[in-house]
Chains A and B, each alone.
Chain A
Amino acid sequence: MALISSTSPHTTVSNNTGAFMRQVIYATLPGLAVLTWQFGWGTVINVLWAVVVALVSEALILKARGRPVAFYLKDYSAVLTAVLLALALPPTSPWWLTLIGVSFAIIVAKQLYGGLGMNPFNPAMVGYVLLLISFPVAMTQWIAPGEAPSLVQSWQLFTGQLPVDGLSGATPLDTFRTLHSSGAGNESELASHGILHGQFAGLGWEWVNLAFLLGGLYLISRKIITWHIPVGFLAGLALPALVAWLIDPVRFADPMFQILSGGAMLGAFFIATDPVSAATSRSGRLIYAALIGVLIWVIRSFGGYPDAVAFSVLLLNLCAPFIDYYTQPRTYGHDKPNRGTQS
C-alpha cells in the first residue's frame, strides 16, 4: 500500500492559477461588449486573433526553453495578456499590428524574463507601448463613437483592405488635448465639442469605462483582486484632477471625465492589478496604484500623449520592488516592521 507523504497542510483550496486567470477574462466581457457596441466588431476580431497569436507564441517559446508546454498553457496567463492587449488596441487595428504587439508581449516581455511570475513589467503594456512608439498613427486612430462600422467593414479593416481614414475620428481625450495644445481652449469652444459631453463624461467612452468598472467589481466580489489597487488608482487620478479643475475648469478636465475616459477603468481594475508586476503588500499596493493614477493625470494634463495608462503602469512596475521594501507590514511580535533593504 502506498500512502502520500507530504508536508503539511494536507488540504488546499480547490482553485488554481488557471481559474484565477479565467475569472479575470470573464470579467472583461462587459467591457468587450460595450466596445463592440460603440466601435464595431474590430475589437472582438482582434481579441480572438490575439488569443491565437498568444497561444502559438507561448507554445513555441516554451518549447524553445524546454519547458512543459501543456502545463504552462493551462494557466491561461498568455490568453489573459492577449485579451488585455487587444482590448487596449484601437478597433481599427490591422492583423499585423496585433501580431507584433502580442508576440512581443509574450516572447520578450514575459518569457524572456523567465515566464509567468518572473516578468517585472506588465507584458500587455510592454506590447502596447512598443506599438504606440513604433506605429503612432495606427495606434491613435479610433472610430468616432456611435459610428460603429459593420462586421464586414471591421473585417476589411482587420485585413487592411479598407483604409482607416474614412472611418476614424478623435477620442474625447484627443479632442481635449488638441484644444489645449492649439492654445485655443476656452469655455465656449469646449462646449461646442459634443464628444466631450456624454451623459457623465466623454461620449461613448463613458459606457466603455462603466462596463469595465462593472467587471472590476465582479473581480473584487470574487476576491480575485483586492480593492487596494483600483481605489488607489482612481483616487490618485481623481484627486489631483479635482483640485486642478476647481482652480481652472477650462484648462483642466473634471475628475469624472478623467476616470471615465480612455483606459482609466481598464487600467484600474485589469492592468494595474496584474499581481506579478505590482507591489505586494497592501499599503504598498495603495501607494503603487495611487502613483499610477497621479502619473496618468500628469501625463494627460501636461504630457505629449493623450492617454498614459501604459506608460504609468510600466514606470510604477519599475518601482514596485522598491515600494515593497518600504511597505513591509509589521510582523506579529515585532515592534516595528523591517523596512528598507537592510536589516
Chain B
Amino acid sequence: MTAVLIAVAALLALAAVFGAVLGFASEKFKVEGDPIVDQIDSLLPQTQCGQCGHPGCRPYAEAIAEGEEHNRCPPGGQDTVDALTDLLGRDELTLDDEGAEDADIPKVAYIREDECIGCTKCIQACPVDAIVGAAKLMHTVIVDECTGCDLCVEPCPVDCIDMVEVQPTLQTWGWNRPAGIGQRPDSRIEVVNL
C-alpha cells in the first residue's frame, strides 16, 4: 500500500516539476511569431483589387484568418491558393476565379485621355490611389503604381478606361524557359534584308 502511495506521490511530483519547467519555458522562450493575419497578408498579391469581395488584401487576410475560404484571389492564382493551403493546413482548394482566365497576364489601366470627362469616379474607385486628376479635368493613371485590378473600369461613365497588357521593354525582357528534354534549344528566324 505504501508502495502505491509512494509511486503516486512520485509521479505527481514529477508531473508538477515538468509542468513547471514547461510553463517556465513557454513563457521564457515565447516566440513572437507573425500573427497569422500578417502571414496570410504577405502571401496575397497586394493588388487590392477587391475581387474576393473584400475592400483590399488585408481585410481578406483577416477574413481568411476567421475561416473564410482561401481560394478567392484571382490575381494570386492557384499558386497563392496552394501557399495558403500550406500555411493554414486546410483542405486543398481550387481557385475560384469565375472565368478570369487571363488573370496572370499583367495589365495596367489606361485612360483614353481625350475621352475622359473628369468625373473622378475612377479616382474614388482606385484602391491604391494610382489615378490622378481633378474634377472636370482629364485623369491619368500612374502606370508604376497601377496594380491592374481593373476596379476603375466599371465606374467610368464614358468607358474610356482600357486594361492594356504590359509590354516587355528592353529592361524587363527576359529569356524564356528552354523547351525541355527532347527539344532543340534553338529556333529558326527568317532573316530579311541580307
User: Which residues of A are interface residues toward B (Cβ below 8 A)?
Assistant: 1-7, 67-68, 71
Contact B190 A2 (CB under 8 A): yes
> What total of A-B pairs shows CB separation below 8 Å?
27
Determine the main DSSP class of B at the interface with A. loop
Which bucket holds chain B's interface residue count? 10 to 19
Judge whether B191 and A3 touch: CB under 8 Å: yes
From B175, B182, B185, B189, contact of A3 by CB (8 A): B189
Contact with A along B159-194 (1 / 0, CB 8 A): 000000000000000010010001001111111001
What is the bound-complex CA distance between A239 and B124, given in angstroms? 79
Q: How far is the CA of A2 from the CA of B191 in the complex (A)?
A: 6
A2 to B178, CA, bound (A): 20
CA of A1 to CA of B194 in the docked complex: distance in angstroms? 9
Q: By the criterion CB–CB under 8 Å, are A7 and B185 in contact? A: yes
Q: Are B191 and A68 in contact (CB under 8 A)?
A: no
Check if B187 sits within 8 Å of A6, measured CB to CB: yes
CB nearest neighbor in A for B189: A5
B186 touching A6, Cβ below 8 Å: yes
Assembled-state Cα–Cα distance A109/B112 (Å): 62
Distance from B186 Cβ to chain A, minimum over Cβ atoms (Å): 4
Bound-state CA distance A2–B194 (Å) is 11
In angstroms, Cα B183 to Cα A71, docked, is 11
How close is B52's CB to chain A, nearest CB, in angstroms?
Answer: 32
**By the criterion CB–CB under 8 Å, are B191 and A4 in contact?**
no
Q: Do B182 and A5 touch across chains, with their CB atoms under 8 A apart?
A: no
Closest partner residue, chain B, to A116 (CB atom): B181
B175 → A minimal CB distance (Å): 6
Least CB distance, A17 to chain B, in whole angstroms: 11
Closest 7 CB pairs of A and B: A6-B186, A2-B188, A5-B189, A3-B191, A4-B186, A5-B187, A1-B191
Within 8 Å CB of A6, what residues of B?
Answer: 185-187
Additional pairs, 13, CB under 8 Å, beyond known A3-B191, A7-B175: A1-B191, A2-B188, A2-B189, A4-B187, A4-B189, A5-B187, A5-B188, A6-B186, A6-B187, A7-B178, A7-B185, A67-B182, A68-B182
23 A–B contacts, CB within 8 A, in A order? A1-B190, A1-B191, A1-B194, A2-B188, A2-B190, A3-B188, A3-B189, A4-B186, A4-B187, A4-B188, A4-B189, A5-B186, A5-B188, A5-B189, A6-B185, A6-B186, A6-B187, A7-B175, A7-B178, A7-B185, A67-B182, A68-B182, A71-B182
CB distance from A85 to the nearest CB of B (A): 25
